[in-house]
A and B are shown apart, each in its own frame.
Chain A
Amino acid sequence: MTIGIVVFPGSNCDRDVQWATEGCLGIPTRFLWHESTDLSDLDAVVIPGGFSYGDYLRCGAIARFAPILSSLIDFVNSGGKVLGICNGFQILTELGLLPGALTRNQKLHFICENIPLIVSSTRTEWFEGVKCGDNIYLPIAHGEGRYQCNKDTLKKLQDDDSIAIRYKNNPNGSLNDIAGITNKKGNVLGMMPHPERACDDVLGGLDGRSILQALLAK
């Protein structure tokens, strides 16, 4: 049981994720350079936060064409689990594995704080141990996290019960307070908050643990 963390030029949360998965949770973890394509030994893949390719053009727009992401589409189609955190979420929307787009925060600020979130769906394994409506606390750190999609897409997300977490006090202007969504199948989760920064009491919270543990749930 091994997970992989994709590393792009400009990723900067890759080691934080490794510290959380391997150091805090004991999950065997290896890094995946963006030019590699072999995911055959992996049970799950994390696309970490950061500024892949300097966020040039749009966040995630250039990363989307990395060789590893072609393999990732096959990986997802065959049921593999993928977690996109922050820039990873932006990349998953650019890639089309999740709908919508992440745009500039309403008030332009880069927001870096520990915030309350409401678990909106426990349909998938990512939030299995939590109750719908529960509050969890995770850090956010982004300038472009305002979720946007058209009305039809929003309706589909709601009908499919795919809005996983919402902001309690919407910090960035996200549509419908959306902080994280899953695909219909439930094996892909994209979220702006950073679960890897909430896996140790010393850092002020443990609410990220169950999300990362779900990488290896059956």
Chain B
Amino acid sequence: MPNFRANIQVSLRPSVLDPAGEATKSAAIKLGIRGLTKLRIGKSIDIEIEASTKEEAKGQVELLSDRLLANPVIEDWTLELFSDDLSIDV
């Protein structure tokens, strides 16, 4: 069965305060980083999944992202899907 790799980026929704990001931003300014106007912290999740088609893989990873990896009340997510098999176009 073809193997797919996926990367899911989970980020707090823009309207939700990110105190950890704010604290890191203030440390970055103390470090001397100039011009910094935004710093938000999210999560990056790498997975590998076997599926017969890319549609099946995509469906499974979307379900996973929406129901477990992110909480839609406070978080957004984006997905990138790759195939190890160059003949499968993702």
A108 & B20 in contact (Cβ 8 Å cutoff):
yes
What distance in Å separates the Cβ of A170 from its nearest Cβ neighbour in chain B? 13
Q: How far is the CA of A101 from the CA of B71 in the complex (A)?
A: 8
Q: Is B69 an interface residue (CB 8 A)?
A: yes
Interface contact B17-A173, CB-CB below 8 Å: yes
B68 CB–A CB distance under 8 Å:
yes
Instruction: Check: B86 CB closer than 8 A to any chain A CB.
Output: no
Partner of A103, one of B23, B68, B74: B74
**Complex Cα–Cα for A94 and B69 (A):** 12
Q: Tell me if A57 and B19 are in contact (CB < 8 A).
A: no
How many residue pairs bridge A and B at CB < 8 Å?
A: 35
Interface size on B, residues (CB 8 A): 12
Task: Establish whether residues A108 and B19, one from each chain, have CB atoms under 8 Å apart when the complex forms.
Answer: yes
A115 at the interface (CB under 8 A from B): no
B16 within 8 A of A: yes
- Does chain A have a CB within 8 A of B33? no
Which bucket holds chain A's interface residue count? 20 to 34
A218 to chain B: which residues have CB within 8 Å?
none
Interface: A106 (CB within 8 A): yes
Residues from chain A with a CB closer than 8 A to the CB of B73 are: 93, 99-101, 148-150
On whether the beta carbons of B71 and A94 are closer than 8 Å, the reply is yes
> Across the interface, which residues of B come within 8 angstroms of A61, CB to CB?
68, 71
Scan residues 59-81 of chain A and give those whose CB is less than 8 A from a CB of chain B: 61, 65
Whether B16 contacts A103 by the Cβ 8 Å rule is: yes
The chain A residue with its CB closest to the CB of B72 is: A101
Question: A123 on the interface (CB 8 Å rule)?
Answer: no
Q: Does A105 count as interface, using CB distance less than 8 angstroms?
A: yes
Extra contacts, 14 of them, besides A58-B71, A101-B74, A108-B20 (Cβ < 8 A), are A57-B68, A99-B73, A100-B73, A101-B71, A101-B73, A103-B12, A103-B74, A104-B19, A106-B17, A146-B17, A148-B73, A149-B73, A150-B73, A173-B19
Closest A-B pairs by Cβ, 5 of them: A101-B73, A101-B74, A108-B19, A104-B19, A106-B19
| Residues of chain B having any CB pair with chain A under 8 Å | 12, 16-20, 23, 68-69, 71, 73-74
Can you identify 27 A-B contacts, CB atoms within 8 angstroms? A57-B68, A57-B69, A58-B71, A61-B68, A61-B71, A94-B71, A99-B73, A100-B73, A101-B71, A101-B73, A101-B74, A103-B12, A103-B74, A104-B18, A104-B19, A104-B20, A105-B19, A106-B17, A106-B19, A107-B19, A108-B20, A146-B17, A148-B74, A149-B73, A150-B73, A173-B17, A173-B19
